Amino acid sequence: MHIKPFGKPNNFMKYLLLIFVVFLAGCTSITDEMNKTNETDNSTEEEKANYTEVQEEIENPFGSGFGSPFQRLPSCGSNKEFFTVPHIALSNLNNIVPLGNFNPSGHVFPTNHLYFHLKGFQGQSSSSSASIVAPGDIWVTRIDSSEYTMNGQRITDYKMDFSACEEVKGYFIHLASLSEKLMQSFGQPSNCKEYETGGINYKNCEKSFFSSPILLKAGEPLGTVGGSSDFGLADLRTPELSYANRNRWYDEPLHRVCPLDYFIPDVKSNLYSLLGNSDMRRIVEPLCGEVNQDVEGTAQGVWFAKGTKETYPEDSHIALAHDNINPVKGVFSVGTSVPNLQVGTYYFNPKNSGFVDREFKDVNADGNVYCYEPRDGFSDSRFLFVILIQLKNPTSLVIEKQDLSSCGSGPWLFGSSYAEFER
């Protein structure tokens, strides 16, 4: 290999030398500017911190946030009155179904939201409709659309997640349409999936707005509802609900609250007067109903199909609880996992002694089998079968339907068609 001896620089070396000289000049200029800044910046550390906070507020009115791309909303503090107007006009409402409703198999567990039924609503169909507005100043954080077929008709409705502040989060379900402002924001989302619950196939599409929540003022239109709409709320400042198995639940379901308690007093009072159904109002405290009815170490509460890991969907599970309108009544809320027992709700009149129709909270792991004579929730007529249960241990329950016209005096033995549930 021939190596050229050093001599006069070629053109490349000339260019390299020129770039180096320019770089040195630039560094000198920057250093001078930094020195000037240091000489003239006499701000205190407090003033610098305040300046930083102001800049953050200008760039992000919600503060530093949960970390990009999420924005942090204002803290709730100790405030509990966030809603100033009914989201559905009182003149359009027939009743509000309290927390803890059962509608298996989609809602095997006590529901953690209220149902707002419009006048003229009957079952799952209604020709009535009404406008829905923001109950207070809220930030919309997500919108979902659900497409499904019911009674041969293709239906699209919407779910909207929102926050009233950092710790209070809510949602509205079954909006028949969105306001123009929300529809423009929702657009044509590409994040879609299909699933089945309650025997119905759904196509769900969602769009999140965590990086730039949509601010809506009290009374601003959200869209319309038809027949019935759901309203759920969680307050992360409240103590956790005491479920028998804490590990089955995540943050928001552990902090479900009654949305009516977050309205100003006069609106709250008017809404409370509507709690119940078309035939009767709930008169047992808490008037707004209960989400959690678990009593640890007893049969009462929610139970999960043996071997399952997921809490949702609820279809395969069961709940042994009390009615949300008339809590005096006991109810089996049955999903899809009990052989020969149809999905549905089965009521009984609880007793405080004996082994027939015993209060669920009195059934423990005592080695006994308990027998129930279920009744129809509407007519109160007896079904011509019985339901047997036994608590094998505090976290294991056995249940079976048997074709007996009544319980008789017992004792009772399980056959081969029982199902096991766990906590």
Distances (CA, A) of 146 to 118, 161, 166, 249, 366: 21, 14, 27, 24, 46
- 384-393 pLDDT, tens per residue? 999 999 999 9
Residue 11: pLDDT band with limits 50, 70, 90: very low
Q: How far apart (Å, rounded) are the C-alpha atoms in residues 423 and 416?
A: 22
Sign of the four-CA dihedral 175, 181, 183, 188: negative
Which domains does the chain show, CATH number per domain?
A: 90-272 (2.70.70), 301-422 (no CATH)
Asked if 259 contacts 232 with a C-beta cutoff of 8 angstroms, the reply is yes
270-292, pLDDT tens digit by residue? 999 999 999 999 999 999 999 99
Handedness of CA 206, 210, 212, 215 (dihedral sign): positive
Query: Could you tell me the CA-to-CA distances from 280 to 50, 89, 155, 325 in Å, in that order?
Result: 57, 21, 31, 8
Mean pLDDT of 340-349: 98
Beta-sheet strands, E only, within 35-163? 93-97, 113-118, 129-133, 138-150, 153-163
Answer with the residue of higher pLDDT: 64 or 419.
419
pLDDT in tens, 36-65: 434 334 434 433 333 333 333 323 333 333
DSSP alpha helix (H) spans, 106-199: 180-186
> For the residues 1-11, what does the mean pLDDT come to?
39
Instruction: Give the pLDDT band (50/70/90) at residue 335.
Output: very high
From 280, 355, 268, select the one nearest 323 (Cα to Cα): 280
Q: Residue 197 — very low, low, confident or very high, per pLDDT cuts 50/70/90?
A: confident
Give per-residue pLDDT as tens, 161-172: 999 999 999 999
Q: What is the pLDDT of residues 135-166, one digit of tens each?
A: 999 999 999 999 988 888 888 999 999 999 99
- The whole-chain average pLDDT of the chain stands at 86
Look at residues 86, 119, 116, 120 and name the one whose alpha carbon lies nearest to residue 101.
116
Q: Is the pLDDT of residue 5 over 80?
A: no
Is-contact 318 337, C-beta < 8 A? yes
